[in-house]
Amino acid sequence: MRKNNLILILAIIIIAFLLYERFSEKRASSQVLDQLREVPTEIDENSRLKESDIDKINNYRQNAITTAVEKIQPAVVSVNVIKTRIVRRRTSFFFGFYDEIPYNIKGIGSGVIFSKDGYILTNSHVVEDATEIKIILTDNRQYDGKIVGIDSVHDIAVLKVNGNDLPFARLGKSAELIIGEWAIAVGNPYGFLIKDSKPSVSVGVISAVNRDFAENEQGKIYRRMIQTDAAINQGNSGGPLVNIYGEVIGINTFIFSESGGNIGIGFSIPIDRVKKIADELIQYGKVRNIWFGFKVQDINPMLASHLGLESLDGVLVNYVQKNSPSQKAGLQKMDIIIEINGNRINNTEDAEMAVSDISVGDEMKLKIIRNKKKMSLVIDAVEYK
């Protein structure tokens, strides 16, 4: 009897517990529904953001990059060009007669105004062979562009427009760049598709500096280039690469890509070199040729053995012109040049690259080996006449 009573009591406790749990769930659900009914359908005026709060948020959104973009954007221009190609057309199948007709090709690039006088920097490949150049500013003003000068070897061109109240950018220093610092690429990619004169902005870092490339098929030499992962696309050529101060540190020139799109490997011409070239083009209309007065050749194993050299590094001087700057500086035939302006020289290609940045009025500092002794010489870069 006692056993049955115990079982009955346990059953009553279990049933009571289950009923309590179910009642608690219904009550909680009811409270949630009541709270939902109390939520207002419209935002109460007191819950709206105040204008002072919005101003604070906007201030937080501003940073060094947005400030730099505000400075540079007005000075970035779209460079629209028309290049005329002559196409041969066959007029008679039987007699083999041909005529030549002009064919216009549209092109687009970017540029940056760098003086209040309306001088513009861009790439030479953007405007070479152009028969018409139209410069479009971010405020939709349009001007006819005039070519002041072109340095095809270094891929730099200076253009000129005549206008009032022209915005212009400040040129910085590329020699002071730090790998990893912010870099901002500004230009007009795919300008024919985007009907808007305002430039596009992409942000990355300085990935590397002093990237050298061999002379390409067009005869252009790209040396000590700035590498960046800021997106550079078609139409960006000639646009500025900018630091967080809004200063131009390079001119965007080309990318590595198999598809034609950006993969994060772009290259810009350092602004220190661009400034020297621009000064030459503005003052003389060209980059003046330099007279060095000597020639060099590579050192092969047979020549090294004959001269008793321990290494193939350097280039051998095989000719020194009489009364030339090199002869006046003391350079002699059979000297071995191992360094030019701090650049290690292993072959003639290195030597050509090393002198490509030298302008009239500069000094060319050489380290040479003569009779197995190291020496230093300084050759003045004078204009070839």
125 a catalytic residue? yes
Through-space distance between the first and last CA atoms of the chain, rounded to whole angstroms: 131
| Residue 237 known to be catalytic | yes
Q: CB of 357 within 8 A of CB of 224? A: yes
Question: How far is residue 251 CA from its own chain's centroid?
Answer: 5
Closest by Cα among 151, 139, 83 to 113? 139
Give me the catalytic one of 78, 110, 124, 125: 125
> What tokens appear for 42 in the block?
């419209």
Count the Cβ atoms, other than its own, within 10 Å of residue 58.
9
Task: Determine which one of 78, 110, 151, 155 is catalytic.
Answer: 155
Q: Which residues contact 219 (CB under 8 A, 6 or more apart)?
A: 152, 153
Q: Are 65 and 182 in contact (CB under 8 A)?
A: yes
Catalytic residue among 237, 326, 350, 357: 237
Structure tokens at 255: 């990318």
The CA dihedral of 348, 156, 185, 60, to the nearest 10 degrees, is 120
Q: What positions carry a catalytic annotation?
A: 125, 155, 237
